[in-house]
Amino acid sequence: MLFDSHTHSSFSPDADRAADMEKMPLTAREYGLDYITVTDHCDCNYWLPESEKDYKEYPKEDSIMFGCRDYALPSIKKALALKAGCDNFLCGIELGQPLQNKQAAEQILSTEGLDLVIGSLHMNAGKADFYYLQYNKMDISEIYTLLDDYFSELLEMCKTVPFDSLGHLTYPLRYIVGEYGITLDMSRFDNKIRDIFCTLIRSGKALEINTSGYRQKYGRPFPDAQYLKLYRSLGGELITIGSDAHKLSDIGAGIKDGCELLREFGFEYVTLFKDRKPQNYKL
């Protein structure tokens, strides 16, 4: 059984406009996947206000990128309709920054029909997305502070937000390490990452292995091998896998490699969420 539990359609503002949701189930079959879950962006801190005037006050570089009310709700509606006629298609959402707008998060979390809610963090409170930051103009101490704040907010998310799977842990390294080539001492965050894993395990939430890093300069998944090994050693069993595809041609990318890595560290199952309930399938 092969799944891709993290994908984006054209409803996500940063996705390929040709990523037609109706083509996703057929593409998944062509690539040998048994299930595909669409998880378009709903970044809570950019939940679209009622008035167009208020919307224009958002920073342009951020407001055009992130899935707000005008993107997330139509995506869910479309996905639910498509799911009714496809036996390999599931409806999810990527819930970004839920602590930065709890009301928006609660509204999405109460939506009926969702199969999977991925909890994710693309930017610290009051900061731009890690994608936009210019790390070559920062002192290393400033970068470590950003990462410390990132892991602290993730830990609080894991404790208080009822999502299903934690998406792309170590996401900032895609840019800090992958794009800027900055060397980091990640051991300073070991305790917080351990606490994140223990919280996930206690609360019955899953960890995601996000294979997008395989096709990027970073060259490895999020999180990478050392953290997958730690999660397993702590008793972690629930683990979803997703390509984080933003175009049809990336659906399923890296999934087989990710499954092989999981087997290497003693994982026996990969988790698929249906109706927000975990189902484990033998690797």
Write the CATH number for 159: 3.20.20.140
In the chain, the number of structural domains is 1
Residue 109 CA: distances (Å) to CA of 71, 76, 164, 208: 16, 12, 10, 19
First to last CA, the chain: 7
Q: Which domain holds residue 260?
A: 3-282
Query: Which of the four pLDDT bands, split at 50, 70 and 90, describes residue 249?
Result: very high
Residue 136 CA: distances (Å) to CA of 2, 224, 255, 263, 273: 39, 23, 32, 37, 40
As beta bridge partners, residue 273 has: 278
Whether 54 shows a pLDDT value over 70: the answer reads no
Rounded Cα distance, 131 and 153, in Å: 18
Reported as a single tens digit per residue, the pLDDT across 168-219 is 999 999 999 999 999 999 999 999 999 999 999 999 999 999 999 999 999 9
Rounded Cα distance, 177 and 207, in Å: 22
- Contacts of residue 26, defined as CB under 8 A and 6 or more positions apart, other chains included, come to none
Rounded Cα distance, 152 and 196, in Å: 9
Residue 78 CA: distances (Å) to CA of 107, 115, 260, 265: 18, 14, 33, 38
Dihedral angle sign, alpha carbons of residues 20, 23, 28, 31? negative
Predicted confidence at residue 63, as pLDDT, reads 46
- Contacts of residue 150, defined as CB under 8 A and 6 or more positions apart, other chains included, come to 121, 124, 130, 172
Residue 232 has φ and ψ, to the nearest 5°, of -65, -40
What are the helix (H) ranges across 125-233? Answer: 140-160, 173-176, 190-203, 225-233
Q: What is the share, in percent, of the chain residues with pLDDT greater than 70?
A: 92
Predicted confidence at residue 58, as pLDDT, reads 46
Cis peptide before 223 (omega within 30 of 0): yes
The structure tokens listed for 97 are 């920054």
Whole-prediction pTM value? Answer: 0.94
Whether 67 shows a pLDDT value over 90: the answer reads no
